[in-house]
Structure 1
Amino acid sequence: MTTDEDLSPERREFLSALNEHRALFTATLTGLSDEQAGSRPTVSELCLGGLVKHVGQTEAQWVAFALRGPAAFPSFADTDWQARADSFRVLPGETVAGILADYAAVAARTDDLVRTADLDVAHDLPEAPWFARERWSVRRVLLHLLAEVSQHAGHADFLREAIDGRKSMG
């Protein structure tokens, strides 16, 4: 049986960095009620629960891209903008526990990709106004995911501090 210690240093570094930043990110929900997780404590439209939902959905879509290429993304014209907006909100019936469980399942799939995928396989990015016409390798997708989690961990810190003064670091 292969363990993480048997992985290449690059793969171990990806796993370590992703899990470190995910822990900082998801810790911002620790001890919050479902109502607090859905609150918007700043002038931003962002809420903590919605931010974790969004990152989980984004991570899942990029893993699908790494495995299947641009077909993993809907065409720009077919994008469901309401569903995208809802990914940033805690909807009725959603809970902190459910949001965290969903994100943990996505993270586990991403970690499996890190452990097993050929990091050099590349796909054309889907057509969208925000993408240049280029190819991304699985390695580049993982770097993008690390940036995505890290960026939103910073947003989450501000939101949590606005709710009750708690900080994830410092």
Structure 2
Amino acid sequence: MAGTYTPVALPFTVAGEKEDLLTLLADQRALFKVTVRGITEEQARTRTTVSDLTLGGLVKHLALGERNTLEELRERDETAEFDMSEAEHAYDLTDGETLAGWLDEYDRAAAELDEYVAEVGGLDELIPQPTAPWQPEREWWTIRKMMLHKLRETAHHSGHADIIREALDGQSTMGALFTMPDA
């Protein structure tokens, strides 16, 4: 598919809307990873803006989001509730956690989610969403909507990461694309 910023090759064959969604999401994930490329563990934990967000925290949050989306698709739990205690450190690298470890988890979770979506029959299947303080009534989303939400969430946090990285050492994601190693 043309129109990506990074070289994207899906590890499976899909066509049409699935190919578009999975390719654009893979591209956005790759752009996010360009933003965090080459940082140290210390830099991954460094706040560079008035926000509490850090690059490492964003990697962890996106990895957890990939994993949670996959669980929602697989389990289809009509009684699921978001556990707010799990969110307490969702944006923090805690003791014993590493940037490399969360980048690996991000890659694993994204690959598993993409494979699931590639193999599922269609994108119109309705999946129950967990209730949460920001979504107190049960909603049913199509797989399409879930994947579009994942694309939006990844792009949203990629913007955060780009600002944090620029404040850290002046690197911008788009500038780094010119020095990106071959994938």
Check the 8 A contact 1:65/1:72 in 2, yes or no. no
Give the residue type in structure 2 aligned to 1:11.
Answer: K
- 1:95 & 1:160 partners in 2: Cα distance? 18
- 2:79 & 2:155 partners in 1: Cα distance? 23
Say yes or no: does 1:165 pair with 2:170: yes
Say yes or no: does 1:112 pair with 2:121: no
Residue deviations 1:33-53, cap 9 Å, x none? 001001111110100011110
Q: Which runs of 5+ in 1 are unaligned?
A: none
Q: 1:72 to 1:156 in 2, by over 3 A?
A: farther
Post-superposition offset of 1:67: 2.1
Post-superposition offset of 1:142: 0.6
Check the 8 A contact 1:66/1:141 in 2, yes or no. no
Check the 8 A contact 2:78/2:128 in 1, yes or no. no
**Match for 1:149 among 145, 149, 154?**
154
**How is 1:34-45 mapped onto 2 (pairs within 5 angstroms)?**
34-45=41-52
Post-superposition offset of 1:68: 1.8
Indicate the larger mover: 45-54 or 118-127.
118-127
Indicate the larger mover: 147-156 or 83-92.
83-92
Q: Paired residue for 2:106? A: 103
Residue deviations 1:124-163, cap 9 Å, x none? 3222232254310111111110111111000000010110
Give the residue type in structure 2 aligned to 1:165.
Answer: G
Q: Paired residue for 2:127? A: 123
Report SS of the residue matched to 2:110.
helix
- 1:7 & 1:80 partners in 2: Cα distance? 36
Check the 8 A contact 1:29/1:96 in 2, yes or no. no
Check the 8 A contact 1:14/1:114 in 2, yes or no. no
| Coordinate RMSD, CA, aligned | 1.9
Report SS of the residue matched to 1:112.
helix
> Percent same amino acid at aligned positions?
39
How many equivalent residue pairs? 163
Q: Which runs of 5+ in 2 are unaligned?
A: 1-10, 176-183
- 2:97 & 2:120 partners in 1: Cα distance? 32
Check the 8 A contact 2:72/2:128 in 1, yes or no. no
TM-score (norm 1): 0.87
Say yes or no: does 1:10 pair with 2:14: no
Give the residue type in structure 1 aligned to 2:133.
Answer: P
- 2:157 & 2:78 partners in 1: Cα distance? 26
Give the residue type in structure 2 aligned to 1:91.
Answer: T
